[in-house]
């Protein structure tokens, strides 16, 4: 037992991170506190029961249901993006800048998707329904690898899983390849690419998320997957040859800056979308960014 460490991570890298990021580490509790308020107010507004009795048409009811689904999806995506930022900080704080960069991609994807669904509430339905496609694909692959897994579900449960998978698959939009005239399969819940989503959000909201696409999505993608460029980013040329960099503390600092920027954009978006009335508080945190 005496050989067990009393902590996990790189203590020396942690000390260097704390010393060089003192201003941010003093600011982050204020950001976290404000996010707690934002998420609490959002759920309170979402769960408010309308007062009074108003006659509504079926179309109005459908639109209200669609909007409420969009709101809960946006809320959940935003919570996940904030959690991703926490993971980014843990990695950056231990000098793992490349790992932090991978979390930056998750932040960016969730924020862009949330903003896109906020502008297009109808997209929330295919987003949610695609979960059945994803679960079905995982199930099929697992059973293919281990047929005995079918014994863990009752025949009724298996039939229900397959039914929901086929039903969700039937709703997936399809396209015909212009070159070969064959159906094109769709892996994602939408055919709108992430950069196109960002461009559409920018057009509607006056933001500039598309400008961040290369740094917050493309580069992290190349380092998340086995690519030659991703490997090159880990290697450093020296007089004695190539050196593989285990720690990437300069990259860690860059990821904290980029993550900080994204999280402030998320605060502004949530405050505006859910009309939380926290303009002064959000502005105060944004004004601290250049100072930090």
pLDDT of 47 > 50? The answer is yes
- Asked if 136 contacts 168 with a C-beta cutoff of 8 angstroms, the reply is yes
Tokens standing for residue 140: 């099929």
Distance CA(88)–CA(99), nearest Å, equals 8
Tell me the pLDDT tens digit for each residue of 204-247.
999 999 999 999 999 999 999 999 999 888 888 888 888 888 77
- Asked if 191 contacts 173 with a C-beta cutoff of 8 angstroms, the reply is yes
pLDDT recorded at residue 168: 86
Tell me the pLDDT tens digit for each residue of 162-176.
999 998 888 775 554
- pLDDT bin (cut points 50, 70, 90) of residue 101 is very high
Residue in the block written with tokens 């800048």: 97
- pLDDT bin (cut points 50, 70, 90) of residue 53 is low
pLDDT of 183 > 80? The answer is no
pLDDT of 28 > 60? The answer is yes
The average pLDDT across 58-68 equals: 89
Residue in the block written with tokens 């396209």: 175
- Asked if 14 contacts 268 with a C-beta cutoff of 8 angstroms, the reply is no
For residue 282, what are the CA distances in angstroms to 23, 115, 260?
A: 18, 17, 13
Q: Domain ranges for the chain, please list them.
A: 11-46+60-283
> Which SS3 state, helix, strand or coil, does residue 208 take?
coil
pLDDT of 269 > 80? The answer is yes
Q: What is the mean pLDDT of the chain?
A: 90
- pLDDT bin (cut points 50, 70, 90) of residue 139 is very high
Tokens standing for residue 33: 């506190």
261 phi, psi to nearest 5 deg: -65, -45
pLDDT recorded at residue 184: 47
pLDDT recorded at residue 175: 52
């Amino acid at each position: 037992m005496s050989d067990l460490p009393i902590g996990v991570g790189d203590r020396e890298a942690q000390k260097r991170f704390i010393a060089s990021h003192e201003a941010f580490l003093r600011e982050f509790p204020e950001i976290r506190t404000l996010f707690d308020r934002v998420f609490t107010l959002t759920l309170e507004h979402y769960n408010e029961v309308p007062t009074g009795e108003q006659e509504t048409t079926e179309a109005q009811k459908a639109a209200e249901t669609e909007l409420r689904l969009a709101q809960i999806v946006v809320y959940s995506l935003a919570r996940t993006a904030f959690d991703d930022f926490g993971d980014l900080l843990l990695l950056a704080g231990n000098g793992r800048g490349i790992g932090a960069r991978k979390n930056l991609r998750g932040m960016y994807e969730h924020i862009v998707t949330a903003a896109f669904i906020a502008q297009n509430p109808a997209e929330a339905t295919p987003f949610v329904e695609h979960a059945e496609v994803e679960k079905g694909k995982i199930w099929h692959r697992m059973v293919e690898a281990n047929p005995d897994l079918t014994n863990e579900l009752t025949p009724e449960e298996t039939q229900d899983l397959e039914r929901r998978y086929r039903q969700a698959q039937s709703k997936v939009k399809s396209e015909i390849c212009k070159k070969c005239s064959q159906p094109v399969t769709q892996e994602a819940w939408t055919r709108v690419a992430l950069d196109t989503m960002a461009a559409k959000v920018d057009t509607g909201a006056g933001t500039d998320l598309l400008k961040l696409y290369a740094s917050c999505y493309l580069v992290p993608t190349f380092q998340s997957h086995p690519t030659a460029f991703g490997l090159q980013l880990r290697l450093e040329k020296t007089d004695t040859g190539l050196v593989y960099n285990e720690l990437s503390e300069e990259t860690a600092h860059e990821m904290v800056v980029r993550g900080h920027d994204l999280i402030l954009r998320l605060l502004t978006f949530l405050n505006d979308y859910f009309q939380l009335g926290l303009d002064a508080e959000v502005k105060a945190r944004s004004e601290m960014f250049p100072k930090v």
